């Protein structure tokens, strides 16, 4: 392709034939191009200066505090003190339930009575056997005396006449000891048979209100899980649930929580974790109680029962309410902005610390939890250490930072 020389081309144009506006345009276009190029050079230079200004090190002191992370759980309001009494065919035939729904009961009050003729008969027989041995001991001690030795004749040796009396006394002592051993065995039988007989009367172990009574139960072997009486103490409610294995390491007894209910969306209650089991519920129980399972782990993984005690007034909450729980993070740690952390190719985490002489030092740190702004540092950094929060790639270990801006 033939190259066109701009100057030669302009010389070949007959200037006299050009109109005035064409001549003006011909001169203005190159000038505009020159102005645009100069403007771009100026802006690039200014942008470079602004970039250099923006990369000025920003330094902030490490502080102590807590990140804004929390754990969400779910649970159910339950009675702290409650008692379930189930039908037990081994105690005998159900003779009667001695309370009604709404009754106020006290500790030790009889609730359910069984009839067990065998237990009664065994107890009566044991008592009769004990009484019989007591009579034998009485007769032996009061009527079974040893014969009195007769007066010795003159010239007779006393030892010859006392031998039968000594032997008789030894025999009585031996009989008495045997009877006392028999009595101890009989007394043990009385006590054991009385325990079986007493078990036919079921007593209350809590003070509270009867909320359920069931007198129509099946006597089949499958009826062992049938509830006869349910007693609750509404004066001391708790929240019970299950948390996933993924949340177990992040929670501990004593942590504060906030509790909400969909029934009262505008109200909030407070509490503390009072119990976390060290042992998971078995897989069958965990799958059957998925509604009470808490945490973000979903339905997978092991489930660990937990209990929360209320620290605020219970108010309108009732037993059986489903509630949402937010576990507050009250643990204190060293905090720095998340932008301060640099991760190397080896996967280790570092920060740039500035000493009193303005020397930058690369320090390996161990990280904890984090939120959108702050990062916990569990080791490698102390409170009030100066940290460069906008480190650049060209920063060198041991480099002197002559100019920086310290922010709060």
How far apart, in whole angstroms, are the C-alpha atoms of residue 49 and residue 33? 25
CATH T-level topology, domain 73-77+234-328: Elongation Factor Tu (Ef-tu); domain 3 (2.40.30)
**Composition of the chain by helix, strand, coil, percent to 5:** 35, 30, 35
How far apart, in whole angstroms, are the C-alpha atoms of residue 89 and residue 266? 49
How far apart, in whole angstroms, are the C-alpha atoms of residue 122 and residue 12? 139
Same fold: 73-77+234-328 with 332-407:
no
Sequence spans of domains, the chain: 14-54, 73-77+234-328, 117-144+166-199, 332-407
pLDDT tens string 177-228: 989 999 999 999 999 999 999 999 999 998 988 999 999 887 765 556 789 9
How far apart, in whole angstroms, are the C-alpha atoms of residue 278 and residue 356? 48
69 and 331 Cβ atoms separated by less than 8 Å: no
Confidence of residue 79 (pLDDT cuts 50, 70, 90): confident
Looking at residues 289-293, what average pLDDT do you find? 45
Cα distances (Å, whole numbers) of residue 346 to 343, 350, 358, 364: 8, 11, 27, 12
* Class of the CATH domain delimited by 332-407: mainly beta
pLDDT at 282: 66
192 and 123 Cβ atoms separated by less than 8 Å: no
Who contacts 106 (Cβ-Cβ below 8 Å, separation ≥6)? 204, 207
Cα distances (Å, whole numbers) of residue 84 to 41, 94, 97, 171, 223: 86, 16, 13, 57, 15
**Per DSSP, what are the bridge partners of residue 276?**
306
334 and 374 Cβ atoms separated by less than 8 Å: no
Looking at residues 152-159, what average pLDDT do you find? 43
Instruction: Output the pTM of the full model.
Output: 0.47
β-pairing verdict for 386-388 and 349-354: antiparallel
Instruction: Please provide residue 171's backbone torsions phi and psi, each rounded to the nearest 5 degrees.
Output: -65, -40
pLDDT tens string 44-63: 554 443 333 346 889 999 99
**Per DSSP, what are the bridge partners of residue 83?**
231
């Amino acid at each position: 392709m033939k190259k066109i020389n701009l100057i030669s081309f302009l010389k070949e144009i007959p200037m006299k034939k050009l109109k005035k506006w064409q001549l003006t345009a011909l001169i203005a276009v190159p000038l505009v191009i020159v102005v645009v190029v100069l403007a771009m050079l100026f802006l690039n230079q200014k942008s470079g200066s602004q970039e250099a200004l923006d990369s000025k090190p920003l330094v902030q002191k490490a502080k102590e505090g807590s990140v804004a992370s929390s754990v969400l759980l779910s649970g159910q309001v339950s009675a702290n003190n409650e008692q379930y009494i189930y039908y037990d065919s081994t105690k005998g035939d159900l003779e009667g339930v001695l309370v009604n729904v709404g009754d106020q009961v006290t500790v030790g009050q009889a609730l359910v009575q069984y009839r067990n003729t065998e237990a009664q008969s065994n107890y009566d027989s044991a008592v009769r056997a004990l009484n019989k041995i007591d009579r034998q001991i009485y007769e032996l001690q009061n009527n079974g005396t040893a014969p009195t030795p007769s007066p010795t004749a003159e010239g007779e040796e006393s030892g010859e006449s006392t031998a039968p009396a000594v032997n008789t006394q030894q025999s009585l002592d031996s009989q008495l000891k045997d009877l006392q051993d028999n009595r101890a065995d009989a007394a043990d039988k009385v006590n054991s048979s009385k325990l079986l007989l007493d078990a036919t009367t079921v007593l209350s172990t809590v003070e509270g209100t009867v909320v359920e009574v069931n007198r129509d139960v099946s006597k089949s072997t499958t009826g062992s899980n049938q509830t006869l009486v349910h007693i609750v103490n509404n004066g001391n409610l708790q929240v019970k649930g299950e948390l996933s294995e993924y949340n177990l390491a992040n929670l501990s007894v004593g942590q504060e929580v906030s509790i909400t209910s969909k029934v009262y969306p505008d109200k909030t209650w407070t509490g503390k974790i009072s119990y976390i089991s060290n042992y998971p519920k078995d897989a069958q129980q965990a799958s059957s109680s998925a509604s009470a399972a808490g945490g973000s782990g979903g339905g997978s993984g092991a489930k660990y029962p937990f209990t929360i005690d209320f620290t605020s007034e219970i108010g309108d909450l009732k037993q059986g309410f489903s509630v949402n729980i937010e576990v507050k993070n009250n643990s204190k740690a060293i905090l720095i902005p998340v932008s301060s952390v640099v991760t190397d190719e080896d996967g280790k985490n570092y920060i740039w610390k500035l000493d009193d002489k303005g020397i930058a030092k690369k320090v390996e740190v161990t990280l904890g939890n984090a939120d959108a702004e702050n990062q916990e540092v569990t080791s490698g950094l102390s409170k009030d250490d100066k940290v460069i929060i906008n480190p650049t790639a060209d920063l060198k270990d041991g480099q002197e930072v002559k100019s920086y801006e310290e922010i709060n």
